[in-house]
């Protein structure tokens, strides 16, 4: 093992690839912001940006001795991330030798876009299982002819509200096997599943087929992208959701069918004792996920399980289970959602378990647990009243907001400057000179880590807004919206080509062409171990 100039150990292509091929545990972290990550990265390099490392590390990397390798494009954030991880208590941290270009030069495949493992799996799934689909024109004809059919949108509810197919109902992926049988009680009712692109349409359709729904089921081919390319209109701001009249109670037959699918996929069972022992994170990384809706989770959940709706877990797996080769344990309240979600994770080559022996009393913890973060450096704090006075009277206070760009645009304190922490050295010159700076973020946590770094650059007093923007609004102060005063370019999020209604057709088609090419990339990469399961109807 070699070291770089900072004394950090280095790992090369063969060392990382051998771990991926052997399915050994490794946290391969692309610590750049999301936009440069989306321009090209190794298949299983999970995006954990340096700018939010302290907020994410303990959740994404629960075992302190897990092997970690950081990678960047040579700009130095990989080394800085490795140093910070080591300071947080991680003991096996290395930097990838040569960065992204080093991976490519060694023969490694680079993948563009985000959530690529799941999207590539979806393409492989369709090719192996021949998942049925209908073109936009065929679906439009079904709707216009008033055929007995239902159209369901398998994305998150907020995505559904942004844009969807006319008449579509929001049924996020993990809910499909539980809810659609209640919505399509007539076996002659046709079911169309869609998302914005392809993956959740394909996985959702195959979910219902694997589950044994007697109805004919199709994916809307290419989702809302295919719909708009066919010159069909989308609708905005919809609110139709799956019916909850029967609660979450699943029939014994539904639970049996979901368990059968999971068993065939190789899903295993976890007991209370397993959960207790594995939660120590001793010798093996284990993730514990509750795959129900966030609302159900907040009403009551098993302590130690994190809320990740099953459809999003399948779609964005590397965002939540960042350690490739780790163990995953799922739970729900009725057995359908956990088993169907687990069946997909098993097909994506994860060691996945479902808990069966929790009862109602075990779902005792309410609300959303606060994530553990490292102890922040000491900084001078001020309350919203003091900040309001400074901003209104002295003219020599600069407010810096380190929220994510999308959050900043939705609402920030009037006069605030947007800044990405990882770009701080290049962004500080864009800030006005002042004798006093205040750092804010949504809840005040990230600001505590940024304040000392900003103080080193500006040579002035730096304060943290206690409680963040949330405390500001709670005190009755107003926010402003929009993309104002950008000290940093907004590279913390990559805009997906299927988002919004203003994307040019050429970009949509290019995205589809890229997805079609993912199977060939998987074959060239050779580290995925995916095994889509074919079930006869």
Question: What topology is assigned to 380-474 in CATH?
Answer: Oxidized Rhodanese; domain 1 (3.40.250)
Q: What is the pLDDT of residue 394?
A: 83
Question: What are the phi and psi torsion angles at 300 (to 5°)?
Answer: 170, 125
- pLDDT (tens digit, 9 = 90+) per residue, 52-93? 999 999 999 999 999 999 999 999 999 999 999 999 999 999
Mean pLDDT of 485-496: 93
Boundaries of every domain in the chain: 10-114, 119-244, 261-362, 380-474
On whether the CB atoms of residues 76 and 95 are closer than 8 A, the answer is no
- pLDDT (tens digit, 9 = 90+) per residue, 400-433? 999 999 999 999 999 999 999 999 999 999 999 9
What predicted TM-score, i.e. pTM, was given to this entire model?
0.95
Q: What is the pLDDT of residue 499?
A: 73
Strands 93-96 and 68-71: parallel
Q: Pick from 230, 26, 63: which is nearest to 135 by CA?
A: 230
Mean pLDDT of 264-286: 97
Lowest mean pLDDT among 474-483, 496-505, 517-526: 496-505
Computed over every residue of the chain, the mean pLDDT equals 94
Top-level class of domain 261-362: alpha beta
pLDDT over 60 at 537, yes or no:
no
- pLDDT (tens digit, 9 = 90+) per residue, 150-197? 999 999 999 999 999 999 999 999 999 999 999 999 999 999 999 999
| CB neighbour class for 203 (10 Å; exposed up to 12, middle 13-18, buried from 19) | buried
Q: What is the pLDDT of residue 247?
A: 46
| CB neighbour class for 280 (10 Å; exposed up to 12, middle 13-18, buried from 19) | exposed
Q: What is the pLDDT of residue 376?
A: 92
Residue partners of 459: CB distance under 8 A and separation at least 6: none
Lowest mean pLDDT among 249-258, 279-288, 525-534: 249-258
pLDDT over 60 at 248, yes or no:
no
Question: What topology is assigned to 10-114 in CATH?
Answer: Oxidized Rhodanese; domain 1 (3.40.250)
On whether the CB atoms of residues 16 and 28 are closer than 8 A, the answer is yes
Percent of the chain whose pLDDT exceeds 90:
91
What does the chain come to in residues?
A: 537
Q: Could you tell me which residue, 407 or 534, shows the higher pLDDT?
A: 407
Residues 532, 534, 537, CA angle at the centre, nearest 5°? 145
Q: What is the pLDDT of residue 249?
A: 54
Selected from 3.30.70.360, 3.40.250.10, 3.90.1530.10, 3.30.70.20, the CATH number assigned to the domain covering 119-244 reads 3.40.250.10
Q: What is the pLDDT of residue 502?
A: 75
Mean pLDDT of 2-21: 87
List b or e across 332-368, with b for residues whose CB sees 16 or more CB atoms inside 10 angstroms.
bbbbbbbbbbbbbbbbbbbbbbbbeebeeebbeeeee
Calculate the CA 41 to chain-centre distance: 16
Percent of the chain whose pLDDT exceeds 70:
97
pLDDT over 90 at 108, yes or no:
yes
Q: Pick from 407, 501, 398, 492: which is nearest to 454 by CA?
A: 398
pLDDT over 80 at 352, yes or no:
yes
Mean pLDDT of 432-449: 96
């Amino acid at each position: 093992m070699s070291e770089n100039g900072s004394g950090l150990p280095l790992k090369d292509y063969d060392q990382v690839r051998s771990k991926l091929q052997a399915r050994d545990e490794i946290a391969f972290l692309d610590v750049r912001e999301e936009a440069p990550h989306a321009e090209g990265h190794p298949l299983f390099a999970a995006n954990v940006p340096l700018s939010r490392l302290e907020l994410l590390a303990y959740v994404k990397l629960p075992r302190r001795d897990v092997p970690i390798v950081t990678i960047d494009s040579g700009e130095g954030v990989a080394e800085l991330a490795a140093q910070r991880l080591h300071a947080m208590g991680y003991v096996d941290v290395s930097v990838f030798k040569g960065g992204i270009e080093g991976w490519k030069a060694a023969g490694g495949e680079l993948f563009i876009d985000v959530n690529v493992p799941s999207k590539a799996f979806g393409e492989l799934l369709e090719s192996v299982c021949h998942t049925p689909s209908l073109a936009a024109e065929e679906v439009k004809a079904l709707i216009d002819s008033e055929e007995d059919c239902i159209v369901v949108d398998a994305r998150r509810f907020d995505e559904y509200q942004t844009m969807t197919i006319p008449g579509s109902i929001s049924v996020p992926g993990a809910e499909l096997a539980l809810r659609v049988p209640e919505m399509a009680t007539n076996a002659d009712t046709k079911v169309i599943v869609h998302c914005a692109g392809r993956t959740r349409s394909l996985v959702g359709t195959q979910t219902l087929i694997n589950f044994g729904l007697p109805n004919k089921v199709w994916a809307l081919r290419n989702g809302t992208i295919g719909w708009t390319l066919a010159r069909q209109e989308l609708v905005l701001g919809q609110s139709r959701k799956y019916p909850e009249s029967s609660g979450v109670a699943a029939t014994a037959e539904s639970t049996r069918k979901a368990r059968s699918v999971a068993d065939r996929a190789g899903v295993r069972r976890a007991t209370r004792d397993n959960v207790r022992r594995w939660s120590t994170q001793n010798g093996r990384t284990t993730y514990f996920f509750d795959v129900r809706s966030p609302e159900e989770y907040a009403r009551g959940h098993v302590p130690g399980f994190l809320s990740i709706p099953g459809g999003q877990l399948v779609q964005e797996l590397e965002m939540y289970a960042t350690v490739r080769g780790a163990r995953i344990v799922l739970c729900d309240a009725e057995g359908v959602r956990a088993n169907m979600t687990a069946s997909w994770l098993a097909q994506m080559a994860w060691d996945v378990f479902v808990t069966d022996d929790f009862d109602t009393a075990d779902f005792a913890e309410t609300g959303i647990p606060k994530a553990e973060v490292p102890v922040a450096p000491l900084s001078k704090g001020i309350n919203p009243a003091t900040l309001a006075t400074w901003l209104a009277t002295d003219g020599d206070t600069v407010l810096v907001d380190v929220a994510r760009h999308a959050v900043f645009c939705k609402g920030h304190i009037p006069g605030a400057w947007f800044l990405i922490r990882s770009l701080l050295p290049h962004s500080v010159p864009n800030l006005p000179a002042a004798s006093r700076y205040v750092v804010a973020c949504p809840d005040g946590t990230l600001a505590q880590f940024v304040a000392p770094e900003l103080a080193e650059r500006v040579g002035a007093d730096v304060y943290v807004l206690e409680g963040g923007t949330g405390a500001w609004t709670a005190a009755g102060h107003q926010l402003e919206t929009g993309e104002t005063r950008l000290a940093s370019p907004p590279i913390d999020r990559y805009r997906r080509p299927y988002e919004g209604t203003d994307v040019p057709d050429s970009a949509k088609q290019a995205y589809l062409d890229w997805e079609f090419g993912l199977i060939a990339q998987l074959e060239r990469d050779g580290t995925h171990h995916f095994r889509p399961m074919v079930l006869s109807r």
